[in-house]
Structure 1
């Protein structure tokens, strides 16, 4: 990729700015580092300042900003995007990545409302709040426009057993992606979604020991290098604004996703 390529928004990659939520670990950290090493300026958002600092330290010399952010808190989200505007002056990319699986293995009838609400507040409400703030900034800035990429999951298409809260929010994210994509057209705001299956992170570590399948059995599932996900997000991010990857699915080749159930 040409790190100095000019986007339709008029910024070279070296001067483009991104916000990555959930940047303190996992997919968020991998994507943030891929962008930073590619010359992007990146605001690292997450709930733990120490892990955000660790991410920033992995790209020495790169232009990063760490902002402690609980995406389910409207005040935190407002502070995040105010900090981005004051530090960088514009926003070219939001990677809406922060999320939680919630309690695993809990039957629908036993899932506490508080647990349901926590997953919805983080995965769906948090994604909406960040997208709304990014939309406002991208609409008002000059040159106008930018890109939002939502982290969907293959669970936006097919659920795992006993994952009702996570699956419901990931299906809802697909609707959010489509609505943002449509509503962003007049303002040159593109929105796409990446659906990821079994990237090797702390969240998927349990898959190496065996995870419940739809037939009730436990099975070890293959995983893929999270760097491959990060490269895919960067490709989506660096397209000119007249092109958009609406939906991309990136999975471990042999995972039991196609035909799940």
Structure 2
């Protein structure tokens, strides 16, 4: 019997690449994001894909998506809690309050809401249990310049990961976090091209498919084993030795 994973933010970037990897591996995959056409493009030619359109900031839409996926597949074995955004960079006194609130709403509250829905389903199902994988960031450890909203929310995700790990033990619910640095998504490709146009050295990057492989590895472990924290990054990016 194939296993089931819900992937939030599955319409592009890391979410889409990871969804394709799980589909190829034969998992039943719930694809959750706002853009239906983009989700359908990821799901194309995969009978084991479940397009679940919704907004991560709307708890009822998130809960309904989990209910629909569980009804279709019988259970949910894993969540890749991936949806997030990066607000425009600025010193803290120039960060609009709305940017702060939006980052907290998506990157923290949205991930809490998805984890809450997954935890409830995993606790109720028979056999009990499952795995939640939170997408942190290198910014969960050290910040980039001008990124107070993003950095604060990603530090908070580390605390959420630890709390879910602790609270999930009685129910065979494992929780881990993957912290990713400079995977070559469309956004990072734009950053690279802009640097080249300006005559600057482009950032060190690596292929996003390696993230998908790592998440699959984490999700495929038996529930008595867990990758608590994984850092996956471009080898030469300025993380080790910063400051």
Question: What's the TM-score bracket when you normalise by the shorter of the two chains?
Answer: over 0.9
Q: Equivalent residues in 2 for 1:180-195 (5 A)?
A: 180-195=164-179
Question: Which residue among 9, 23, 35 is the counterpart of 2:10?
Answer: 23
Point out 4+ residue stretches in structure 1 off by more than 3 angstroms. Answer: none
For 2:146 and 2:208, the matched residues in 1 are separated by: 25
Q: Which residue of 2 aligns with 1:9?
A: none
Partner-residue secondary structure (3-state), 1:184: helix
TM-score by length of 2: 0.95
Does the Cα contact within 8 Å between 1:199 and 1:224 map onto a contact in 2? yes
Q: Which residue of 2 aligns with 1:125?
A: 109
Question: Which residue among 176, 180, 184 is the counterpart of 1:196?
Answer: 180
Q: Equivalent residues in 2 for 1:145-164 (5 A)?
A: 145-164=129-148
For 2:80 and 2:101, the matched residues in 1 are separated by: 23
* C-alpha RMSD over aligned residues: 1.2
Cα deviation digits, residues 62-111 of structure 1 (max 9, x gap): 401111121111111111111112211210000000000012x2221011
How far residue 220 of structure 1 moved from its aligned partner, in angstroms, is 1.9
Partner-residue secondary structure (3-state), 1:253: coil
How far residue 205 of structure 1 moved from its aligned partner, in angstroms, is 2.0
How far residue 235 of structure 1 moved from its aligned partner, in angstroms, is 0.3
How far residue 203 of structure 1 moved from its aligned partner, in angstroms, is 2.0
Unaligned runs of 5+ in 2: none
Are residues 1:54 and 2:41 paired? Answer: yes
How far residue 206 of structure 1 moved from its aligned partner, in angstroms, is 3.7
How far residue 172 of structure 1 moved from its aligned partner, in angstroms, is 0.3
Does the Cα contact within 8 Å between 1:39 and 1:62 map onto a contact in 2? no
**Pair 126,195 (structure 1): closer, same or farther in 2 beyond 3 Å:** same
Cα deviation digits, residues 40-64 of structure 1 (max 9, x gap): 000000011111011101xx23401
Cα deviation digits, residues 168-207 of structure 1 (max 9, x gap): 0000000000000000000000000000000000121243
Equivalent pairs, count: 239
TM-score by length of 1: 0.89
How far residue 210 of structure 1 moved from its aligned partner, in angstroms, is 6.0
Question: Which residue among 79, 85, 89 is the counterpart of 2:70?
Answer: 85
Question: Which residue among 44, 47, 58 is the counterpart of 1:73?
Answer: 58
Q: Which residue of 2 aligns with 1:168?
A: 152
Unaligned runs of 5+ in 1: 1-13, 212-217
For 2:143 and 2:127, the matched residues in 1 are separated by: 40
Q: Which residue of 1 aligns with 2:85?
A: 100
Partner-residue secondary structure (3-state), 1:15: coil
For 1:210 and 1:219, the matched residues in 2 are separated by: 10
| Larger helix fraction of residues | 2
For 1:62 and 1:16, the matched residues in 2 are separated by: 14
Cα deviation digits, residues 190-234 of structure 1 (max 9, x gap): 0000000000001212431467xxxxxx64211100001100000
